[in-house]
Chains A and B, each alone.
Chain A
Amino acid sequence: MSREMNIDKSKMTVVEGSYAVAHSVKVCKPNVISAYPITPQTHIVEDLSQFMADGEIPNCEYLNVESEFSALSALVGSAAVGARCYSATTSQGLELMHEVLFNVSGMRLPVVMTVTNRAVSAPISIWNDQQDSISQRDTGWIQMHAENIQEISDMTAQAYKISEDKDIMMPSMVCMDGFILSHVYEPLVLLEQDITDEFLPRYEPEYTLDPKNPLSFGAFADPNYYTEFRYMQQQAMERSLKKIEDVAEEFYDMYGRYFGGLIDEYQTEDADIILMAMGSIVGTIKDVVDKLRENNVKVGLLKVRTFRPFPAEAITNVIKDAKVVVVLDKNISLGLNEGALFTETKSVLYNTDIRVPTIGYMIGHGGRDIKMDTIERIIDEATEVMKTGIKKESQFVDVREDLL
């Protein structure tokens, strides 16, 4: 449930989303930053570069690498010697990292990386959707999505605490919608250095590459051993479900800010219609919910904050009593005609006693604007589903027939 936040308004400042992230990274005291420029991630790495140039990040090396592939590869080495590591990327850059993503998680290196979500080519598009990070869902990275710049700023520190926990040791992808959040100026409280020094302990991994205690990292595993590595990663992901909630609570206690752990809810308690979504669209939906609530439409929002690990239990607990669930996805699995959040939500309901009609909409691809009117229309259609059942299970929104 949304909570009362204790935000000291005198501490609020107006900055760009990218600056807020860069500031958070600085406050988390990374040892190695490695990045390659790609729109709309650039402002983050530019701001970090300026911090470096001004000597504001001590004990840190900044690597201007020659590709995203090397950006993350360099961090494999840095994390293995015990450095706290950071990178940021998006879209094509994230896809280029694909092979390295598996490698980082397989070696249990707790790298934290911002993804400024952007559509993937072809056709090339610099604008927002979430196809890039969704396409990396099986790589063993914790994946979290933020609703606004305060949340992405705070989530960055939370991600380090979650990933570096000895019981977890899995990397985190903290996602913010490209441009919509990365380039927007909003008021927020920048991550506080004094509280963060207390909140986030030093990174002290159990195992490092150290000539005094030589260990081998990245050995090959034959069929007698491979399965257990994957099994242990899955167990760590399961442990992280609780850790993510705990860290959000601890953050709330120390900083007074809370945007949910695995999920967050808005007006769901008595809702007949529950919308589910991730990222900045959540803000738009909240406005629509407020508007429709004035007309006594019983509609609510389930914000999915953590996509990996998938919060199956948290989701089912919220939607079990709804009359219809509407899932909005800024991605598509081509050939299935469904977005990932929709598919996975349906999958967790199967084999349960919950029989709630669930429909999916694929929306906002390649940065197409998502208007309140569109959300309202979707809610109208959901109201129809409540009465007459599902006619169309999953569909694109606002396809321009004139272009087909």
Chain B
Amino acid sequence: MKSLLVPGHRGCAGCCDAMAAKFTLMAAGEDCIVVNPTGCLEVMTTPYPETAWAVPWIHSLFENAGAVGSGIEAGLKALGKMNDTKVIVMGGDGGTLDIGMQAISGAFERGHDMTYVCIDNEAYMNTGVQRSGATPFNASTTTSPSGKVSFGNDRPKKNMPAIMVAHGSPYVATCSIGFPKDMIRKVERAVEVEGPTYIHSHAPCTTGWGFDTSKTVEVAKMAVMTGLWPLYEMEDGEVTRVKKLGKKVQPVEEYLKMQRRFKHLFTMEGGEERIAQIQALADKNIEDYGL
């Protein structure tokens, strides 16, 4: 299969964005137009005059990718050029859950035929690992550092897929770059379903999370296997499929200890209690989704 994200981009070794983008394009094929809000993926793939994109690609601003995507769809329709062309937005968690939220909400409410793929690496990596609305409970980032009186980020992740389901999206799915076949299948489904569809891909960042560049996939898999990142699909508001963990489920400790951003939980007094709280989050996912 011809790669539509070509080599030579400036992503880090073990970059999660490159994998997510590649998997998305493998599913979407050549007949698509990609919108990319400001972020790592945008910067690393398009240092003028070079580009890593073998499909039409546009970057406008940080917070408007949803709107730009909707405008592309409207333009193609008006010009009679829509045919089978897929409009795909690939945004990071900051550009999706935080600053870009309103534009996405508007685009989904208007019902444009487009697929939004959130590549969630759980902080503002492009600017140096600052906390976002997707940063998990007690992760240490540069703007939510652990310290003498802090265990790091004190809030759980915003549940973006639920918000998109609430918009009436006909197809919402979570996936992970640790399970490429699953991700590709879901993106294929998302671009096939008419209307605004949403894919939320978990994407561990070697630089921001602090693990060896060879471990991206391993860390991604462990997030899923602990239940902290449940994989599910929802069609018209109903859960239609989940990835069962059964007896293979792992304790969250196994996931946390792989990463520098949770290191303080193993060294600070009271860390155990925090790990127990994170375990409770995973347990709730396991119960809620029947993992």
Instruction: Answer whether residue A218 sits at the interface, using C-beta atoms and an 8 A cutoff.
Output: yes
Q: Determine the distance from Cα of A76 to Cα of B107 in the docked complex, in whole angstroms.
A: 14
Instruction: Answer whether residue B27 sits at the interface, using C-beta atoms and an 8 A cutoff.
Output: no
Question: Beyond A209-B56, A211-B33, A216-B46, is A78–B71 a contact (Cβ under 8 Å)?
Answer: yes
Instruction: Answer whether residue B238 sits at the interface, using C-beta atoms and an 8 A cutoff.
Output: no
Q: Report yes or no: A221 in contact with B48, Cβ–Cβ below 8 A.
A: yes
Instruction: Answer whether residue A258 sits at the interface, using C-beta atoms and an 8 A cutoff.
Output: no
Contacts of A66 in B (CB 8 A): 102-103, 105-106, 109
Chosen A-B contacts, 17 in total, with CB atoms closer than 8 Å, are: A31-B78, A32-B74, A59-B80, A66-B102, A66-B109, A69-B64, A74-B68, A74-B70, A77-B60, A77-B71, A77-B74, A100-B64, A103-B61, A107-B60, A209-B57, A217-B56, A219-B51
Within 8 A of A (CB), among B204-259: none
Q: Report yes or no: B67 in contact with A219, Cβ–Cβ below 8 A.
A: no
Instruction: Answer whether residue A214 sits at the interface, using C-beta atoms and an 8 A cutoff.
Output: yes
Within 8 A of A (CB), among B29-43: 30-33, 35, 42-43
Q: Report yes or no: A81 in contact with B110, Cβ–Cβ below 8 A.
A: no
Q: Report yes or no: A70 in contact with B102, Cβ–Cβ below 8 A.
A: yes
Given A59, A79, A215, which contacts B56 in the complex, CB threshold below 8 Å? A215
Binary B-proximity of A53-65 (CB < 8 A = 1, otherwise 0)? 0000001110111
Instruction: Answer whether residue B268 sits at the interface, using C-beta atoms and an 8 A cutoff.
Output: no
Q: Report yes or no: B61 in contact with A81, Cβ–Cβ below 8 A.
A: no
Question: In the complex, what's the smallest C-beta–C-beta distance from B145 to chain A, in angstroms?
Answer: 29
Q: Report yes or no: A216 in contact with B53, Cβ–Cβ below 8 A.
A: yes
Contacts of A209 in B (CB 8 A): 33, 56-58, 72
Instruction: Answer whether residue A34 sits at the interface, using C-beta atoms and an 8 A cutoff.
Output: yes
Q: Report yes or no: A73 in contact with B61, Cβ–Cβ below 8 A.
A: yes
Residue of A nearest to B32 (CB): A211
Which interface residue of B48, B71, B75, B80 has the most chain A CB atoms within 10 A? B71
The number of inter-chain residue pairs (CB within 8 angstroms) is 163
Instruction: Answer whether residue A350 sits at the interface, using C-beta atoms and an 8 A cutoff.
Output: no
Contacts of B68 in A (CB 8 A): 73-74, 76-77
Q: Report yes or no: A77 in contact with B67, Cβ–Cβ below 8 A.
A: yes
Residue of B nearest to A67 (CB): B102
Q: Report yes or no: A81 in contact with B79, Cβ–Cβ below 8 A.
A: yes
Given A80, A100, A225, which contacts B72 in the complex, CB threshold below 8 Å? A80
Within 8 A of B (CB), among A34-71: 34, 59-61, 63-67, 69-71
Q: Report yes or no: B75 in contact with A78, Cβ–Cβ below 8 A.
A: yes
Within 8 A of A (CB), among B84-126: 85, 102-103, 105-107, 109-110
Contacts of B55 in A (CB 8 A): 211, 214
Question: Beyond A63-B71, A69-B67, A80-B72, is A32–B78 a contact (Cβ under 8 Å)?
Answer: yes
Q: Determine the distance from Cα of A213 to Cα of B73 in the docked complex, in whole angstroms.
A: 18
Residue of A nearest to B84 (CB): A211
Q: Report yes or no: A78 in contact with B48, Cβ–Cβ below 8 A.
A: no
Question: In the complex, what's the smallest C-beta–C-beta distance from B122 to chain A, in angstroms?
Answer: 23
Known: A78-B71, A83-B75, A211-B55. 7 other contacts (CB 8 A): A32-B78, A63-B74, A69-B64, A70-B67, A211-B30, A214-B57, A215-B56
Q: Which residues of A contact B (CB under 8 A)?
A: 31-32, 34, 59-61, 63-67, 69-71, 73-83, 85, 99-100, 103, 107, 209-211, 213-222, 225
State the 3 A-B residue pairs at the shortest beta-carbon distance, nearest first. A77-B71, A74-B71, A66-B106
**Chain B contact residues, majority secondary structure:** mixed
Contacts of B58 in A (CB 8 A): 76-77, 80, 209, 216-218
Residue of A nearest to B29 (CB): A211
Q: Report yes or no: B106 in contact with A65, Cβ–Cβ below 8 A.
A: yes
Residue of A nearest to B80 (CB): A59
Q: Determine the distance from Cα of A83 to Cα of B71 in the docked complex, in whole angstroms.
A: 9
Q: Report yes or no: B31 in contact with A211, Cβ–Cβ below 8 A.
A: yes
Q: Determine the distance from Cα of A158 to Cα of B240 in the docked complex, in whole angstroms.
A: 54
Which interface residue of B50, B63, B70, B107 has the most chain A CB atoms within 10 A? B70
Question: In the complex, what's the smallest C-beta–C-beta distance from B61 to chain A, in angstroms?
Answer: 6
Q: Report yes or no: A76 in contact with B60, Cβ–Cβ below 8 A.
A: yes
Q: Determine the distance from Cα of A187 to Cα of B80 in the docked complex, in whole angstroms.
A: 38
Given B54, B66, B79, which contacts A214 in the complex, CB threshold below 8 Å? B54
Contacts of B66 in A (CB 8 A): 70
Q: Determine the distance from Cα of A215 to Cα of B58 in the docked complex, in whole angstroms.
A: 8
Contacts of A64 in B (CB 8 A): 110
Question: Beyond A59-B80, A73-B103, is A81–B75 a contact (Cβ under 8 Å)?
Answer: yes
Residue of B nearest to A224 (CB): B48
Instruction: Answer whether residue B81 sits at the interface, using C-beta atoms and an 8 A cutoff.
Output: yes
Q: Determine the distance from Cα of A63 to Cα of B112 in the docked complex, in whole angstroms.
A: 10
Residue of B nearest to A36 (CB): B106
Question: In the complex, what's the smallest C-beta–C-beta distance from B142 to chain A, in angstroms?
Answer: 22
Instruction: Answer whether residue B69 sits at the interface, using C-beta atoms and an 8 A cutoff.
Output: yes
Contacts of A63 in B (CB 8 A): 70-71, 74, 110
Question: Beyond A34-B71, A78-B72, is A214–B56 a contact (Cβ under 8 Å)?
Answer: yes
Instruction: Answer whether residue B76 sits at the interface, using C-beta atoms and an 8 A cutoff.
Output: yes
